[in-house]
Amino acid sequence: MSLREENLASATAAEKMFFDGFSILFLSVAGVSFLERILSEISRSSAELITAAAFARHPLISTRVEFNQHISSLLIPTQPLLTPGNMADALKAEGNKAFSAKDYPTAIDKFTQAIAIEPQNHILYSNRSAVYSAQAEYEKALEDANKATEIKPDWSKGWQRKGAAYRGLGDLLAAHDAYEEALKIEPGNDQAKSGFNAVKRAIDAEAQADGVTGDPLGGLGGIFNDPQLFQKLASNPKTSALLADAEFMSKLQRIKENPNSVGEEIKDPRFLQVMSVLLGIDMSFGAPPDAAASSGATEPQEDVPMPDVRPAASEQKREPEPQPEPEPEDEEAIAKKKAQEAGDAEKKIGNDFYKKRQFDEAVQHYEKAWELNKDITYLNNIGAAKFEKGDLHGAIEICQKAIEEGREVRADFKTMAKAYTRIGTAYEKLGDLTQAIEYYNKSLTEHRTPDALTKLRNAEKTKIKAEKESYIDPAEAEKARELGQKKFQEADWPGAVDAFTEMTKRAPQDPRGFSNRAAALIKLMAFPQAVQDCDEAISRDPKFIRAYMRKVQALVAMKEYNKALDACTEAQENDDGTHAREIDQQQQKCLDAQFSSRAGETEQQTMERIQNDPDIMAILQDPVMQSILQQAKSDPAALQEHMQNAQVRLKIQKLMAAGVIRLGR
């Protein structure tokens, strides 16, 4: 044996704690490097337990100081163990550093490499999503955010990333929902609150821009969207020259795009002339003297009282300025305005009847309003009254008319969207969810509102649920089960899966369909899907032991031995005793398989496996287990007593199967 091998063997021997029947072994690489690493993870009491027993048994060492010196002399400097987890963490750290330096391509590259190592690490997807958002690549940011929420749906940060991506894409309603989900998970998260409030403000601003809240002049901004605007201005001698003014035309275009800005531009006296022509009234009539001049001022004057200054005599007797002659009124504009006033008056009467739930009278006045003024808002009101009255087909018919008329007069999108939503609501109440979903989608195409989006989602969920419920048929489920068993016996595993899938649809609450499909999936080596089916069966009947046994079988095939042992424990807790022998046999198979899997392992391989096994590390960090192991040092029989507890026995078995506790003398 070489000196190095002898030193390593001596160091390994010094790390054993012997007691009757068992030896606890914490493996290491190059001496006690792993021992020190693992002791940093567990309590000081466990460190005392191992080191005290180790130096006490060593024939050449009499004190703990000598023990530490001896171990140090045996060690060969080694590099920290490089595991997949460590590699991913290192790449993540490099990615974070690059992101902080705004080196986005490097950050994406590092996070992508880390994801290749740990494809189920939700944090990596979240970080890369943040980088993509910083680069305005919102589609990719959304993909990564979706992956993060898929892996860990109860993690607030993932939903925040999703909200940021949706906001970048301009889908404010989806962003609103994502931030709302983040706050459900973590109500006190300041970042989620900030994102939610920002999106809400953006939605409100968008609604205002769409005319939801109206312009500051009570709707006057809308007159600039008149299709005959330029013809009217060109035909009037007072405004025709303005069409050649580039500055004026630029302002006019801004108002057409955003009617709410008319309040700012109205300071320009030229727009008073334009509004006079469009409305057919004299906008300057009754205005205070010098109104036009003061409205064109670029800087506000200070309002400072000066009692010592008295007006000059000429100012005191100032003659009133002559008023300009009123402009000739446009007959078409006057007629349009009168029609609107008359229609709105009838609409107001109809609204009063509507509030009193006198829907027939309300409809009469809404119809009269439509006769006076062809505004499809009145048709929508008729539809609302008929809907509340219960005349759903009548509501659909009148809203269809509103849409047709709206297309003719190019009605605004918001009003059209209301008509589509009303039709969808009527169809939903009639039970025709397919048509309801179609019209909700049309409404959202015209104008996206939270109300229509919520109705669409609820209708889709209701439709899916109704379709599933209508498909339930116990007799057909039994036929599918028999067919599945026949296919299984014929070794036609895909056919068996199809038959048992049909059974789960026909009888979704019968655990046998999911358990039987799991058996067929195991034959196809689709172990994760088999485990999922077993969980579905158990959720429907926790005492269905067959599902536990098939779950154990799939987990063992996946080499998830600790999870398989946990499934055995769950089966024992839910068993009435009739399956005790079968459960014990499965448990023993788990232990045997775990022992066999580590046969021939080197110490380094065992150490790596233990270090990367979260279940084993959790047991070693458990204060109760630390206390039990401490007690076992002085009283080995106590370990047997503790193993009478099912939970402790399972943990001891896991430590034994993992190679942390080894049988020996």
Alpha helices by DSSP H, 215-258: 229-235, 246-257
Contact 92, 59 (CB under 8 A): no
Half-sphere exposure of 277 (CA within 13 A, CB side): 21
Phi-psi region of 327 (alpha: psi -120 to 50; beta: other; left: phi over 0): beta
When pLDDT is averaged across residues 408-413 and rounded to a whole number, the result is: 85
- The number of beta carbons lying within 10 Å of the beta carbon of residue 536 is 18
Beta partners for 206? none
Indicate where the chain has its CATH 1.10.260.100 domain(s).
1-52+612-665
Beta partners for 663? 22
Cα–Cα distance for residue pair 39/49, rounded to 1 Å: 11
Superfamily of domain 331-446: Tetratricopeptide repeat domain (1.25.40.10)
H or E segment to which residue 518 belongs? helix 511-523
CATH top-level class of 474-605: mainly alpha
When pLDDT is averaged across residues 298-302 and rounded to a whole number, the result is: 33
Indicate where the chain has its CATH 1.25.40.10 domain(s).
84-209, 331-446, 474-605
Asked: is 1-52+612-665 a CATH 2.170.150.20 domain? The reply is no
More confident residue, 387 or 333: 387
What token pair was written down for 241? 């020259």
Q: 83-129, pLDDT tens digit by residue?
A: 556 778 888 888 999 888 888 889 999 999 889 888 889 999 999 99
| CA-based nearest residue to 433, from 465, 407, 409 | 465
Strand order in the sheet with 661-663: 16-19, 22-25, 661-663
Q: 153-179, pLDDT tens digit by residue?
A: 999 999 999 999 988 887 888 888 899
Mean pLDDT, rounded, of the chain: 76
Query: In this predicted structure, what is the pLDDT of residue 533?
Result: 95
When pLDDT is averaged across residues 642-662 and rounded to a whole number, the result is: 77
All residues at 6 or more sequence positions from 95 whose CB lies less than 8 Å from its CB, including other chains? 106, 107, 108, 109, 110, 111, 114, 127, 128, 131
- What angle do the packed helices 156-169 and 190-209 form, to 10 degrees? 20
Q: What percentage of the chain exceeds 90 in pLDDT? A: 30
More confident residue, 319 or 413: 413
CATH of 84-209, one of 1.25.40.10, 1.10.240.10, 3.90.1150.150, 3.40.50.12240: 1.25.40.10
Cα–Cα distance for residue pair 230/420, rounded to 1 Å: 32
When pLDDT is averaged across residues 210-228 and rounded to a whole number, the result is: 54
Residue 257 has pLDDT above 90, yes or no: no
More confident residue, 158 or 340: 158
| CA-based nearest residue to 272, from 251, 298, 301 | 251
Binning pLDDT at 50, 70 and 90, where does residue 77 land?
very low
Q: 569-614, pLDDT tens digit by residue?
A: 899 999 988 999 999 998 888 888 877 877 777 777 877 877 788 8
Q: Letter for the amino acid at 217?
A: L
